[in-house]
């Protein structure tokens, strides 16, 4: 009973920290550190702010996803791996929030909703076993990699600070997917992957404006 209570408290703590914008990361330096902010025109800063808001929401969901996956698995090795990945995603969340502040933008007003959806997805996958749990990591990280590549094409060319952050995030996501694959991920059924694609579009469209 004590372990269950501790886990509930830890999950609530992560949710509150994530929504408040103070997750626990690895304390890696911000990739934008030392990069000049050359983005001058207001309309470009607004565009970059909306895109970084989408990235921030993605990192909120990543925190929730990995937290739910770690809570739902009974495999100590897998839980440790998921928690390491969650810490790296915590770095991403801090970097995105910092860039939002620089751009005078804000996180999505629907952050608690996105967190709840992510946690539920992660916990549900974890209860279906190690292969599915890892398969969700691969599917999500591949989806995020494509999304970040798209943002690198669409961000203003002179937004070097946002680009530095997005590039490091993309490299980390690739690493997470490869590690999950090496640990024995199984491919998710096509209907599940299709549903994830639809959800991604809903989250992206909603976060751009809300």
Locate 48 and state its tokens.
Answer: 């970059």
pLDDT tens for each residue of 91-130: 999 999 999 989 988 988 888 888 888 889 899 888 888 8
Secondary structure class of 2 (helix, strand, coil): helix
29 touches 81 (CB < 8 A): no
Fold (CATH) for 54-209: Ferritin (1.20.1260)
Look at residue 4 in the predicted model and tell me its pLDDT.
63
DSSP labels for 54-92?
Answer: HHHHHHHHHHHHHHHHHHH---HHHHHHHHHHHHHHHHH
Q: Measured at the alpha carbon of residue 20, what is the angle toward residues 18 and 26, in degrees to the nearest 5?
A: 45
Q: How far apart are CA 205 and CA 210, in angstroms?
A: 9
Q: How confident is the model at residue 165 (pLDDT cuts 50, 70, 90)?
A: very high
pLDDT in tens, 74-95: 888 888 989 888 888 889 999 9
Are residues 153 and 102 in contact, defined by beta-carbon separation less than 8 angstroms?
A: no
Angstrom CA distances, 148 to 103, 152, 158, 173, 191, stand at 19, 6, 17, 10, 23
Q: Which sequence spans correspond to the domains of the chain?
A: 54-209
pTM of the model as a whole: 0.86
Closest CA to 146 of 138, 134, 136, 135: 138
DSSP-derived letter for residue 27 is -
């Amino acid at each position: 009973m004590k372990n269950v209570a501790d886990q509930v408290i830890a999950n609530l703590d992560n949710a509150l920290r994530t929504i408040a914008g103070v997750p626990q990361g690895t304390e890696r330096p911000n990739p934008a550190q030392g990069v000049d902010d050359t983005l001058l025109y207001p309309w470009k800063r607004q565009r970059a702010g909306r895109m970084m808001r989408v990235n921030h929401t993605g990192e909120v969901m990543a925190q929730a996803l990995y937290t739910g996956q770690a809570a739902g698995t009974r495999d100590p090795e897998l839980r440790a791996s998921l928690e390491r990945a969650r810490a790296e995603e915590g770095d991403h969340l801090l970097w995105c929030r910092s860039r939002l502040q620089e751009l005078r933008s804000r996180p999505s007003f629907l952050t608690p909703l996105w967190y709840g959806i992510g946690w539920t997805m992660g916990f549900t996958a974890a209860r279906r076993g190690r292969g599915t749990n890892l398969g969700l990591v691969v599917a999500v990280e591949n989806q995020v990699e494509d999304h970040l590549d798209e943002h690198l094409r669409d961000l203003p060319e002179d937004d070097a600070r946002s680009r530095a952050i997005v590039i490091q995030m993309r490299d980390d996501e690739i690493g997470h997917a490869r590690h999950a694959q090496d640990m024995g991920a199984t491919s998710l059924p096509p209907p599940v992957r299709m549903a994830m694609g639809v959800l991604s579009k809903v989250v992206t469209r909603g976060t751009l404006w809300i």
